[in-house]
Amino acid sequence: MAVPTRPRGDQTAAWRALQDASRAGGRNFGDFDLRDAFATDPQRFAAFSQSAPHVFADLSKNLIDDATQALLFELARRCGVEAHRDAMFAGEKINTTEQRAVLHHLLRKPAQAHASHAQSAINSEANGLTHELAQVHATLDAMLAYAQAVRLDAAITDVVNIGIGGSDLGPQMAVLALDEFTLPGKRFHFVSNVDGHELAAVLKHLRPQNTLFLIASKTFTTAETMTNAQSARRWFEGQGGTDMARHFAALTTNVAAAREFGITTTFGFWDWVGGRYSLWSAIGLPIAIAIGEAGFRDFLAGAHAMDEHFRTAPLQRNLPVRLGLLDVWYRNFLGFTSRSIAPYHSALKRLPAYLQQLEMESNGKRVDLQGQALPFGTAPVLWGEPGTNGQHAYFQMLHQGTDVVPVEFVAVRKPMHDLPGHHDRLLANALAQAQALMVGQVDAGGHRHFPGNRPSTFLLLEELTPASLGALLALQEHRVFSSGSVWGINSFDQWGVELGKVLARDIEPRLQSGDSTGLDGSTAGLLQKLRAK
Ligand code: F6P
């Protein structure tokens, strides 16, 4: 079925009204000041905060008022965000440049949910996906049984995931985040870079008989992963390893290529799972080995709860939509070009890197669905470090720099350790930073002056568990969907990564031959430098 054309954000009256609102008073967003907004509206916290599955979100410290928010909802409605969302859930090929459906949400849909709703009209859309859902659960069951077997196999002490991008960032972030749920006695390593230092540093601590290599690649062609996989196999055989079936498994949509490589233990997935959305698929095997079957099912259930929220909540109470619309407001109307992620939980230290791929590979696009150049900006730059570390590095700039950078705090109410005093101090710092950004220090002059009125969002989890992490990540996926939908772009392709890959293939042999024919002056000059003794 053809995907109907939806108006792009800037083609709506709501967009123009938002432009007017943002310029009112001749200043950026008129005279809006968060301090006044709280002073005049004692209900602001309640009005601009909401609960969604496993996540409480305080949006009240954002540069937004009721009128602007209403216009943003109108914008989403006019852009057909709901119809676009429904098309995704129905399995339509909304990834139009690759002619693919976008069904990562199906990976977290319980098998029984489908069966129990089979009669209902509401689920008639999903009936078209019966075959896919059955495949999902067959693979999930097999993968989780394998994960359990690896967990019970005391000889396997080290699990090495070899993959890059979506085949690395998600599993790596989640295994770190869920460390408290991880089986003792197994170490997890993540090798992504083609830089041999990374693999060599891991291998020197390993023994082949105690190691399981997971070769994670959707395509099974990615140069970095193939290079590392070959070196891992060479090392394994060179160290006397023999049983490839026991010590290597492949996680891929290209099972034939994995078999050709010599791996017989394989777990598949499908072209309708984007790489950066794949940690819910077989790519999540390291997570499943770490936290076990029940943990992984909880992880999927948390994400599914957020899917259901996104799929059914009205726009006004739909947290992913609200976050995505705030992103549009900041990027296109207030001119903010980045967002800082501040996880106040050290186990979430790879969350910013994971979110960078999710946001910037999805929405870092310069043309719309029809291929027309966009007259407005898209994905913000995402960056950040865990709090409180960031406070002692770049928060200076957030408080007193010339650019306004919206900050997204992520905090967890209950700690998983019993060291006295730490957690209150950590949470106090998160609150204080958000407060300082907003309140400022306006009575001080010169170098001590903090202007304040700087926006932040505060996301709060009760505990960091597989379920709450799943929900948090699904929230982020759907927020990226929502802003991408308003921008009228394809959030599910990534053509921008191809050119560099092609050029690297051209340059590599030149490092040996020294041939710089046809190269630009800088590349030719650097090539000679790199070859010089
Ligand atoms: O080069 C970008 C990319 O295609 C990402 O989208 C993807 O997550 C990564 O490479 C790894 O791809 P694969 O899983 O096919 O090895």
Residues 468 and 485 in one domain: yes
Residue 29 has a pLDDT of 82
pLDDT at 30: 75
**Are residues 246 and 331 part of one domain?**
no
Of 95, 194, 219, 255, best ligand 1 pocket probe by most atoms within 8 Å of the beta carbon:
219
Specify the pLDDT at position 448: 96
Identify the CA nearest to 216 among candidates 169, 156, 148.
169
The 3-state DSSP class for residue 187 equals strand
- Which residues touch 185 (CB under 8 Å, ≥6 apart)? 154, 157
pLDDT at position 31, please? 84
Task: Judge if the beta carbon of residue 167 lies within 6 A of ligand 1.
Answer: yes
Would 188 be classed as within a structural domain?
Answer: yes
pLDDT for 510: 97
Closest-CA residue, ligand 1 atom 1, reads: 497
Taking the C-alpha atoms of residue 180 and residue 184, their distance in angstroms, rounded to an integer, is: 9
Does 512 lie in the same domain as 479?
A: no
Quote the pLDDT of residue 221: 97
Do 258 and 340 belong to one domain?
A: no
**Final residue in a domain of this structure, among 288, 305, 323:** 288
Looking at the fold, whether 482 and 507 belong to one and the same domain comes out as: no
**List of long-range contacts for 194-203, beta carbons under 8 Å, 24+ apart:** 194/223, 194/224, 194/227, 194/228, 196/231, 199/162, 199/228, 199/231, 199/232, 202/160, 203/232, 203/235
Which pLDDT value is given to residue 486?
A: 98
Q: Taking the CA of residue 454 as centre, how many other CA atoms within 13 Å lie in the half-sphere pointing to its CB?
A: 27
* Mean of pLDDT values over 8-34: 89
Tokens 């969907």 correspond to what residue?
A: 481
| Domain identity same for 206 and 136 | yes
Quote the pLDDT of residue 1. 47
What are the residues whose beta carbons fall under 8 Å from the beta carbon of 129, sequence distance 6 or more?
A: 90, 91, 103, 106
Query: Can you read off the two tokens belonging to residue 162?
Result: 């070899």
447-469 tens-digit pLDDT:
999 999 999 999 999 999 999 99
pLDDT at 239 over 90: yes
Distance in Å, CA 219 to ligand 1 centroid: 8
0.90 exceeded by the pTM? Answer: yes
pLDDT tens digits, one per residue of 357-389: 999 999 999 999 999 999 999 999 999 999 999
**Any bridge partners for residue 130, and if so which?**
none
Encode pLDDT of 128-146 as tens digits: 799 999 999 999 999 999 9
Quote the mean pLDDT of the chain. 95
Residue with the smallest CA separation from ligand 1 atom 9 is 165
CATH label of the domain that carries residue 282: 3.40.50.10490
Specify if 521 maps to a domain. yes
Whether residue 171 has its Cβ less than 6 Å from ligand 1: no
Q: Does residue 150 register a pLDDT over 70? A: yes
Q: Residue 108 domain-assigned? A: no
Average pLDDT (252-273) is: 97
pLDDT at residue 126 is higher than 50 = no
Strand-strand pairing, 248-252 and 266-268: parallel
- Look up tokens 């070009």; give the residue: 337
Name the residue among 96, 89, 81, 493 with its Cα closest to residue 327.
Answer: 81
Domain of 434, in residue numbers: 9-92+313-489
Residue 218 Cβ inside 6 Å of ligand 1? The answer reads yes
Residue 24 pLDDT grade (very low, low, confident, very high; cuts 50, 70, 90): confident
By alpha-carbon position, which residue is closest to atom 8 of ligand 1?
A: 166
For residues 499 and 118, the model is more confident at 499
Question: Both 466 and 349 in a single domain?
Answer: yes
Assess whether pLDDT exceeds 70 at residue 4: no
> For residue 177, how many other CB atoms are within 10 A of its CB?
26
Q: Which of 92, 361, 408, 477 is catalytic?
A: 361
Ligand 1: does its nearest atom lie under 6 Å from the Cβ of 275?
Answer: yes
Q: Where residue 119 falls among pLDDT bands split at 50, 70, 90?
A: very low
Interatomic CA distance for residues 78 and 527, integer angstroms: 52
pLDDT digits (tens, 9 = 90+) for 168-193: 999 999 999 999 999 899 999 999 99
194 CA distance to ligand 1 middle (Å)? 13
Reply yes or no on whether 304 is catalytic: no
Lowest mean pLDDT of 21-25, 162-166, 229-233, 444-448, name the range.
21-25
**pLDDT at residue 420 above 80?**
yes
Whether pLDDT at 112 is above 90: no
Residue 123 pLDDT class (50, 70, 90 cuts): very low
Which of 97, 167, 261, 283 has most ligand 1 atoms within 8 Å of CB, for mutation? 167
Residue 113 is predicted with a pLDDT of 56
Q: Which of 251, 271, 288 is the last residue of a domain?
A: 288
Catalytic, 392? Answer yes
Domains: count for the chain? 3
pLDDT score recorded for residue 27: 65
